[in-house]
Amino acid sequence: MKTMIFIFVLATAVFAQEIIEISVKGISDKQNDGAQQDRLEAILDAKRQACEKAGLTIESKTTVENFEVVYDFVETQAATVLLPGFQLIEIGYVQDGTYQVVLSGKIKAMAEGEKMSSKEMRYAKSLRDRGKNAECESILIKYIDSKEKDVPEELKEEAFYYFIKWGYAFNLADEVSKFTAYYPESKQAPILESFAAFAVNPLYVHKKTYQSDAGKWQKTELKHNDITFTKKIRCAADTILLKAFNGKDQTILLDFILYSDEQEKTNAAYKIILSYYDGNLKQSGNSGEIKLVEDWFRLFQSGVSMTFQHSSSGVQFKVFRLKGLMISGDVPVGKGPFEQSLQFEIYQKSF
């Protein structure tokens, strides 16, 4: 029997609640697993729909995980939105072989409290959506710092909020403290405070040592300045799964490759490639085209050996952004030609 794993996100700091009435039909799959099991599948489907109507983000994928674990998890989440007095009406088996139920009652829906009210902020967002971050940031700062009397306080507050939300704040904690001091009654203040508390910790810490052998080196031809690298070895092809502030999973693909030119005085280099699947950012290659985020190529210190050592004063793999994230770490350090250590942390900078 195939079951579904559901990932739910309830961002209570971001949303205001309202009560709405719902009626949803839950349907089991068409595999006949017995009346008791089919009934539970239909109830699971109905309560999943109720959660979606309440504004919870639900992602699902087919898996062979234990059904009882999944069912208990859905029950727990549904209990947060379903109000007492809801009804579950049994329809039973229908002509197509599925078991069906109807769930009706009231739920606590999450009405999003964030609306872009000004044309200036809509224009700033359009710039950001097109990758024109410098222009977007400039507009936001213009209104945040404006001394002009015809610039309303509401516009200044909105610009300040998006300045932080979109990741332009260099020191997040300081800017959030300033925002809450300037606008203590703002409905956005709890959101920013929640995000600041979340973002202080890394989403992911990468600290691994990769080992390989001489037989895995491959021929290549890569020209860099006056050096032609003739062989390479892929030390790692890792999939990094992150849980972002909004609760959604985000997948980053990491490739870590070494290069050598096989000369008497060996030149060695490394490349770190970060990418993600376009679309839903799932692990499956069927989820969309792979989009390149960063292609980081650096020379190690050249020398007569294959130790891949680099100068301690060399350029570090420091602070670059990808889709609202920031990576901070060090260049790889080698303990020989076939052992490399790579360490970095990933933080969320915007939401």
pLDDT tens digit sequence for 254-281:
888 888 877 666 667 778 777 766 543 3
CA atoms within 13 A on the CB side of 188: 20
Q: Residue 10 — pLDDT band, cuts 50, 70, 90?
A: very low
Scanning the structure block, which residue is given the tokens 């898996």?
63
Scanning the structure block, which residue is given the tokens 């009654």?
185
Whole-number pLDDT of residue 117: 62
Whether 210 and 236 have beta carbons less than 8 Å apart is answered as: yes
123: CB partners within 8 A, 6+ apart: 139
202 sits in which H/E element = none
Q: Based on the number of CB atoms within 10 Å of its own CB, is 96 exposed (0-12), middle (13-18) or buried (19 or more)? A: exposed
Whole-number pLDDT of residue 284: 38
Residue 332 has pLDDT above 50, yes or no: yes
Q: To the nearest whole number, what is the mean pLDDT of the chain?
A: 75
Whole-number pLDDT of residue 211: 76
Please name the amino acid found at residue 191: I
Q: Which pairs count as long-range contacts for 140-148, CB under 8 Å and 24+ apart, including other chains?
A: 140/166, 140/168
> What fold does the segment set 3-112 form as a domain?
Dodecin subunit-like (3.30.1660)
Q: Could you tell me what percent of the chain has a pLDDT over 90?
A: 18
Scanning the structure block, which residue is given the tokens 């998006």?
162
User: 75 or 6: which carries more pLDDT confidence?
Assistant: 75
| DSSP class of 215 | G
